[in-house]
Amino acid sequence: MTSAAARHWADEIADAVLQRQAHHVISTGITPSGEFHVGHLREVLTAEAVYRALKERGVSCRFHYVADSMDPLRHVYPFLDPARYREAVGKPLCDIPCPCDGHPSYAEHYLEPFLQAVQKLGITLEVLRADALYRQGKLDAQILTALQHTQTIKRILHEETGREVAEDWSPFTPLCAACGRLTTTRVTGFDVAAKTVSYACRCGHRDTAPVSQAGKLTWRVDWPARWQALGVTIEPFGKDHASRGGSYDTGQRIVREVFGGEPPYPIPYEWIALAGQGDMSSSKGNLISIFNLTQTVPPEVVRYMIFRVRPMRHLVFDPGLPLLNLVDEYDNLQGSQRNARAAELARLDGTPPLGFPFKHLVTLVQLTGGDADKITAILKRQRLPVPPRQVLESRIAYARHWLAHFCPPQLRVELQDTLPPAVAQLSPSQRQALGELAQRLQPEMDGDAIHALVYTLAQACGLPAKELFAAIYLAFLGQPQGPRAGWFLSSLDFDFVRRRLQEAAQGQGEAA
Ligand SMILES: [Zn+2]
Ligand SMILES: [Zn+2]
């Protein structure tokens, strides 16, 4: 690998945009129409990596998140009460009541937990709301320009998408003052000098309103208008917008040919898929909320998960064992040069490394019920580093959450109080090896020493190591698989381990 190939993508982008100009505005935006999920993290975290790389270079840079709070409610989503929300379809999200009645609007209901999670992930961004941008008149100039150049925009849309644009198409969607909908109106005229738009609604209402209060631009015009109004120079967006004839293609031409601006440096990104269930999407219901993820692993690990993969590479999120491995990978930073840079960009002041595998902590939490004192005693016995109490307790909380929400059945560790009946299926050589292990085990052996001993004994008994490991798991857990055996056995009381091995070797419990 050449050193150029090993460069982190955020560094490549930072250097590329600095060829264009010295001051930057990175923009992101997601519609707050439902709970934000792990798939949504790619947008803000892709921007965060570039933002951090630019900050490191001493570049003056702003980081926006624009909540598309003026977007209408498209339909009654499965998670909404139909009786309550049927009549809200077509109204802006900022004007609809929230599902819990505890927030100023529907948009704020979903925005609040997202912004909390963003803060927890160490991202500092300026939150802008589309409804405020419109209603404060920040897009007035672009709205009037777009209305004056409706024919040019129609031509661009036709040329780029190949689709016919309806004769009465308008770049502006009025908001009906009577029924509150965006989806039932059409523009009937506008006055540039008076800065007003006239419209008619299917409900029968006709009106003339100041542009700032009259509605919103349609998506394909809204986006370039926002680039121009906010001076956006860099923007990550989902790959659907990046397709040929997609909204980035039309946006580029509209911002240049209609608004007289330049499009931002584009950073298209791929979706995040949930292992075994395809791309995460609200409509498929295969979501893991950002809140849920931030309860499961430290924020640095969430950042690292996104930073370590180039934006256009597919990312499969597996909350089972791979998520635990990711924590250990981040703690160790033993990845390639590129991963080391990803970890550096991911670092926050918060979480020091655990000092031993997080997977092992997950086992200890299961064996002790998450008791920090008992875990500390086991770590000392195992001669593993004992992290500061606060670090240990916060990692125990993450482990508990993972166990409660994401632990696959085969990784569950339930120590059996008595000899499990499953040992009846052990072969004579498996029993012989377990008996040898009971004899040769010493209290001072650590996990690695026990692990090595298991290999030696398996060989001596003419047994594939896998079969001896399975015998050990059956004897203690009643199932043929479990956590790394040496570390597992050294976590348990020595006398108990020896007695259980002897019982299993004889094929019966003490009471029998
Ligand atoms: Zn609410
Ligand atoms: Zn109406």
* pLDDT tens column, 40-83: 999 999 999 999 999 999 999 999 999 999 999 999 999 999 99
Name the CATH superfamily for 1-136+270-350. HUPs (3.40.50.620)
Region 134-162: what's the mean pLDDT?
A: 97
Q: What is the pLDDT of residue 512?
A: 36
Q: In this predicted model, what pLDDT tens digit does every residue of 87-112 receive, in sequence order?
A: 999 999 999 999 999 999 999 999 99
Do residues 286 and 280 lie in contact, with contact meaning Cβ atoms separated by under 8 Å? Answer: yes
Q: What is the pLDDT of residue 411?
A: 83
- Give me ligand 2 centre to Cα 254, in Å: 29
- Give me ligand 1 centre to Cα 265, in Å: 36
In angstroms, the CA 214 to CA 173 distance is 8
The rounded percent of the chain whose pLDDT value lies above 90 is 84
Confidence of residue 503 (pLDDT cuts 50, 70, 90): very high
- Reply yes or no on whether the pLDDT at 341 is more than 80: yes
In angstroms, the CA 344 to CA 504 distance is 48
Q: What is the CATH number of domain 172-217?
A: 2.30.30
State the maximum Cα–Cα separation within the chain, in Å, rounded to a whole number.
Answer: 97
- Give me ligand 2 centre to Cα 183, in Å: 9
Q: What is the pLDDT of residue 225?
A: 98
Q: Which amino acid is at 384?
A: L
Neighbours of 266 (CB within 10 A): 14
- Give me ligand 1 centre to Cα 286, in Å: 22
- pTM of the predicted protein model: 0.90
- Give me ligand 2 centre to Cα 207, in Å: 10
CATH topology for 421-506 is Arc Repressor Mutant, subunit A (1.10.10)
- For 128-167, b/e burial (b = at least 16 CB within 10 A) is bbbbebbeeebbeebbbbbbebbeebbebbeebbeeeeee
Confidence of residue 511 (pLDDT cuts 50, 70, 90): very low
- Reply yes or no on whether the pLDDT at 334 is more than 90: no
- Reply yes or no on whether the pLDDT at 287 is more than 80: no
- Reply yes or no on whether the pLDDT at 2 is more than 90: no
- What is the average pLDDT score of the chain? 93
